[in-house]
Structure 1
């Protein structure tokens, strides 16, 4: 009878390390965003009257890039462009590729329209609010599969994520936006 001690030990180690923290993934991410990563809204973003009435939770850093997609490539070349950002809560302008700290009003964060012009063409795209806590949990599960935790570690993280307190979830715009 063959024994598989090493695979069993690895699986147990991954399971225990995934369960080792006292905080759930949403609490960890929420506490990081609310303390160490508390960001101010970028100076080139102006809150509208409606935005000033909403309770501002934090700002989320978003990297915006513009791609010419005539070839429909998976990773098209990035182009510099001037973009305007508008929503019912704020407006602003940005030269991309670049980073901007956008206001987050939690679940009340409105959709944002980005219009970018590179001199040749103008592209407009609407960006919806994203559950950043859920996005981070999905990234953690994918990283667990890729970096040695395997499917068991990803399953443990998924289980922990499904039992999180969803009232603590943070919402905002995606960390990366590619306008094309």
Structure 2
């Protein structure tokens, strides 16, 4: 009587593991180019960027930009590091250079009549973040702990020298 359950269990396990694919690293789909507003400094030109990553700068999702009073609207934000400078409209997206583990911190400065955001953003391991997000998605979507375990196993066995570093893909002005 238990024999018919074995093929069903194998089928269920196979279909669960089929959904456990390796997460795609940010910027792996197509080669991006630097945004026109990004000006590389001498240090930025001396070191060739390893990757170009898109960064979205916006207000938190809980607040609609149109709901923010105009006095709080910064029209642009200035981004600066030892390797580049840029200006981006808010909300907006900019393609920034990534220099791997040598990506320098970036200052983000946005000012309006009644609002000021001035923070230094440290680079992050985008590959590790992609694996973490995939593991969390597997638990939430229904692949459960098996899917999360498979993703964690893939993450631990990857070649960490190939990890992509850069700035967070989304910077929220708070």
**Corresponding position of 1:145:** 139
Q: TM-score, normalised by structure 2?
A: 0.83
**Corresponding position of 2:100:** 106
Partners of 1:4 and 1:114 in 2: how far apart? 58
Query: Which of 35, 39, 46 is equivalent to 2:32?
Result: 39
Question: Any unmatched runs of 5+ in structure 1?
Answer: 68-73
Q: Once the two structures are superposed, what CA deviation does each residue of 1:27-73 show, in whole Å capped at 9, x if it has no partner?
A: x537x62xx42111100010011111112112100110145xxxxxx
Question: Any unmatched runs of 5+ in structure 2?
Answer: none
The alignment yields a C-alpha RMSD, in angstroms, of 2.5
Is 1:15–2:11 an aligned residue pair? no
Contact 2:19 2:143 (C-alpha < 8 Å) held by counterparts: no
Q: TM-score, normalised by structure 1?
A: 0.80
Partners of 1:7 and 1:76 in 2: how far apart? 46
Aligned residues: 165
Q: Once the two structures are superposed, what CA deviation does each residue of 1:115-171 show, in whole Å capped at 9, x if it has no partner?
A: 011332221011110111111111111111122211111111111111111011011
Q: CA deviation at 1:15?
A: 2.6
Equivalent runs, 1:17-166 vs 2, <5 Å: 17-18=19-20, 25=22, 29=25, 33=28, 36-66=29-59, 75-78=62-65, 79=68, 80-81=73-74, 82-166=76-160
Partners of 2:168 and 2:114 in 1: how far apart? 27
Contact 1:113 1:127 (C-alpha < 8 Å) held by counterparts: yes
